Amino acid sequence: MKVLIIGANGKIGQKLAKKLKSSNHHPVAMVRKKGQVSQFETMNIDTVVADLESEFEHAYDGINAVVFTAGSGGHTGPDKTHLVDRLGAKKAIDLAVKNNMDQFIMVSALGADYSPEKWPESMKHYYEAKADADKHLMQTSLNYTILKPGKLTDEDGSNNILIGDEIDQTNREIPRTDVATVIEKSIGNASTYKKSLEVLTGNTPIDQAINSL
C-alpha cells in the first residue's frame, strides 16, 4: 500500500517511515514545514508538505491508507490541542472517507475512552480531543484501526506486546519503536479492522499478538 503518514516528523512517525521504507509498503511522509523534508529525502522517502490547520487534501493523491500520528505536543495549550488533535484529525478522517482510503490508522492514547472523571484535570483537554476524534472515526465506513498506547518511552523496543480491547496490566508503558512496529504490522491486516485497541509492553511477539486478534 501507499501509506500517508500524518505527523511523520514526530518520534513515532519517523520510526514508522523508516520501517515502511524497508517493507513492501510505500511511505509518504506528510510534514508541515519545507525544512523537514530533507531528512526523509536522504532516506529516499517521498514527502508532501501540508498543514493540518489549512487545506491538505492534495496529500491524499495516490494514497491507499492513512496513519494519523500527529499531535500538538505536550507543551501546547488547549487551543492548539483542539486545532490539531481534534479538528485536524477529524478533517483527515473526512478526507479519507472522501478519497476512499483502504484503511485509516489512528494513534490515540490509553484512557481516551475512559469516563471523563478518570482523566487528570491538567490533561482533560487532550483526552477530550482524542476521544472526539476516535468516535468520529468509528462512525465512518472506513476500515479503521485505533491504537491506544500507554505512556510512550524512548527505550529500545522489545517486540513483545499486550494488545486488546481492554488491558489490565501494571506496566502501563510501551516504547515508541514497538508502537511503530504495531502500526506497520496493522497496515492491510484485516484482523485489526474496525477495532479500537489498547497496546502496552507485554510478553507476546507483535506478529503473533496482532494475528490473534
Coil, strand, or helix at residue 5? strand
| Residue 55 Cα to chain centre, angstroms | 20
Whether 192 contacts 166, CB under 8 Å: no
**Mutual angle of helices 89-98 and 124-138, in 10-degree steps:** 10
* Number of H-type helices and E-type strands within the chain: 7, 11
Spatial distance between the Cα atoms of 80 and 71, rounded to a whole number of angstroms: 9
Residue among 60, 126, 127, 144 flagged as catalytic: 126
127 is catalytic: no
Whether 175 contacts 198, CB under 8 Å: no
Residues with a known catalytic role: 126
